[in-house]
Structure 1
Amino acid sequence: MVRLPEFRSRKLPQQVPRLAVVFFLAAVALIAARYFLIPDTFGETGHYRAAAVDTIIAHPKKYAGQQECALCHGSIMDERLGGNHRGLACEGCHGPAAGHVANPVEVKPVIPSEREHCPRCHAYNPSRPTGFAQIDPVAHNPLVPCATCHNPHAPEPPMVPGSCSACHGQIASQKAVSHHATLQCTTCHEAPDEHKLSPRAVRPGKPTERAFCGGCHAHDSEMPRQIPRINLRAHYPQYLCWQCHYPHYPEAS
């Protein structure tokens, strides 16, 4: 008589039911969170909450816009648009003005008379472009409000700089210890008078031909013999001289 093998019933490990319960509860929690946390208007007009636009519109209006300012302050607006602050909005210095527009008698805009305000843009920062008006607030007329000397709506320096070093101090310091120290800046640069008033709009010129530097440094130059000489035809003719030699301190090249 053949005896069949006995099969023992295999039970699931006790961890499996526990994990199943954990996953079930996690799924219930996610479904509940989705139901309670996802806004009602989500997905109506895209993958965002459609009612967000209405929420933003409901916020109280703080800024009026410079068009509103021009309605009452047209002459000041014209003056500002013709000056160096033409790119600034009125509320950039005077603060939010919607309240002033709604009630001009009771609500007055801020007048930035403290010295801490203007240096936010005009304190010295070497990363700013050449010609951007910058000062050292500690040394530049300390304790005197900026508006005492400068018209904030059309600021101009009290007087036109008399020398290039007024704006280009670092270059002047380098040139002072160079063999080019005795050369005037206008020897190499064509600087129109308008450059002093609008330095970024009207820029000085610089040599565009090798023959310019060759006037002093070419072999056939009539300048004093102690000046270094080169053969303009053979000495890297594909480059302008100042592309390799820093003209304000050529020894460093």
Structure 2
Amino acid sequence: MHTHIHTLLAVNTLLVSSLALGPPFKGDAFVKFKEVPPMEIIARNSGSISLLCSAAGNPSPTVSWYRDGVKLTTTQGSDAGLGETWAKLFLPCVNSEDSGVYECVGEAVGQQISAETKLDVVGHPHFGCLPRGAGGSAPKILGWYNTVMVQSDRTAVLPCRVNDKAGKVQVLWRDSAGQPIEEDDNMQVKGTDLVITRVRWAHMGRYTCTVQNGFGVDMISTFVYPLAPAMNLV
């Protein structure tokens, strides 16, 4: 009984949040930002900083970080349904060379939006951080979906994109009950992503990705909401 109540609450919460995402019906293609960092950030030399950006869209948008026209990181969107995509730019051990303008770009069905953040690095360098690329580092999840609404019988790829500097990591996906995913014909972990083939109502729920190595751990979650086949999104 309690499980049924929690499921209904989760559905109601998602339906409310989906209204905030934008129009979820056929022909209503869109992309808009849900969260962007401040227009200007000041960071201390030798510290670390994370720039978070998310965009909602129909279909789920691609979200990328750029500096001077060079793509630094990206989370690929999906045409399988409406959703909210997150992209994180993590800069460890920053120095004066990291000062500049960073741009978050969201893209879906030919539409593009962008937001800029100016980063100023101040102060004198100090000991206590390893220069980028020196030794190992804790994993950082840089790309994922917060919510994805997928038409039934389609394939959903839930990204859990990890920074390259983390090296080899252990990845564990759990279902909404907190149980490790048991791979079968419908669910498979490919790299660090979870692939759900032929999404059904039974797949509804929040899935959690945990990655770890000898230096640390990081975790994100994605809510999957299957839609009836008649509710075409694109």
| Fold in common (TM above 0.5) | no
Higher normalized strand content (fraction of residues): 2
- Give the number of the structure whose alpha-carbon radius of gyration is greater: 1
TM-score range, shorter chain: under 0.3
Greater share of residues in helix = 1
Normalised TM-score (structure 1):
0.19
Task: Between the two structures, name the one with larger relative contact order (CA 8 Å, sep ≥ 6).
Answer: 2
TM-score with structure 2 length normalisation? 0.20
